[in-house]
Amino acid sequence: MGELAFRIKRFYRWEPRELRDIWLSILGITFIFAFNDGRATFNLALWIVNFLMTAVIVAVSFFAYDGAMKVAALQQGYRAEYRMWPTGLGLGIIVTLLTGGKFPLVLAGGLFLHHHMILRLGKFRYGINRIAYGTIAAAGPFAHLILMTIALAFSRQFHLLPAFFDYVAKINGILIIYNLLPIPRTNGIHIFFMSRLSYVFIAATLAGYVLLSLAGIYSWIIAFIIGAACWFLWYWFIEGGGN
């Protein structure tokens, strides 16, 4: 733990390009979520207030996502960098304009991993490998899951600002789903190439929690059971474990 704290203190930082990508992504994602504020009539003042509130939520969620990956990377001796996907972000904005903000498409970018010469010196498998990429990539969606769980606890159990914290949970739930898609430039592709079975378990567990929350069920245990069941079914019928 002390070694990790030293690594965070010494090597936790953002490059100028990365900060540019992060803030542009936050701005684009905020526009996607805030474009349709759900009101029957447009009110500029209320729309701006909603936009600023969404921007704060997205920024906190995004830095939690990025921070989780950076810490996980430093723990394994790598440096994590967020890279924006301009095409995906632009496509999300276009879809928002075409649908009036009713369908949020969030494909802003994902993880890019750097080999850290100092921290990896003398380590087994000195270079970057798929297992490291996958485990570090998974830290991002798990950060969204924790924020979503905390928001739901404040809303459903403590009844504190339910509209606000439901909105926080909604944003993080959507970000979880899109982060897990196994397509280029998302974190999901790295988890998928690490291991198909691991991807099925992680994706089914996290997506299961999101879907359960829509039904008013908030349980990591049930989500874990869903993930384990999907893992077994994939192993048995797809990977040929039943043969």
Which tens digits make up the pLDDT trace of 81-94? 999 999 999 999 99
- pLDDT digit string, tens, across residues 58-104: 999 999 999 999 999 999 888 999 999 999 999 999 999 999 999 99
87: helix, strand or coil:
helix
Give the percent of the chain with pLDDT over 90. Answer: 81
**Which one has a higher pLDDT value, 176 or 128?**
176
Which pLDDT score is estimated for 129?
84
The verdict on residue 236 lying in a domain is no
Average pLDDT of the chain?
Answer: 92
The pLDDT score that the predictor gives to residue 226 is 97
Question: What was the pLDDT predicted at 119?
Answer: 67
Whether residue 2 has pLDDT greater than 90: no
Give the closest residue to 138 by CA, choosing from 104, 187, 201: 187
Question: Token pair for residue 21?
Answer: 């990508």
Burial 96-126, CB ≥16 within 10 A → b, else e: beeeebeebbbbbbbbbbeebeebbeeeeee
| Percent of the chain residues topping a pLDDT of 70 | 94
In a domain, 156, yes or no: yes
Task: Answer whether residue 22 is part of any domain.
Answer: yes
Taking only Cα atoms into account, the Rg of the chain, rounded to an integer number of angstroms, comes to 19
Sign of the dihedral through C-alpha 142, 144, 147, 148: negative
Provide the domain count of the chain.
1
| 217 occurs within a structural domain | no
| pLDDT confidence of residue 8 | 84
Q: What is the domain range of residue 92?
A: 2-194
User: Is 80 within the bounds of a domain?
Assistant: yes
Name the CA dihedral angle for 139, 142, 144, 149, rounded to a multiple of 10 degrees. -150
pLDDT score, position 153 = 96
pLDDT in tens, 155-207: 999 999 999 999 999 999 999 999 999 999 999 999 999 999 999 999 999 99
Q: Report yes or no on 218 lying in a domain.
A: no
> Within a domain: residue 16?
yes
Task: Using the predicted structure, report yes or no on whether residue 115 has a pLDDT greater than 90.
Answer: no
| Domain contains 11 | yes
Say what the pLDDT of residue 49 is: 96
User: What number is the average pLDDT over the span 135-140?
Assistant: 97
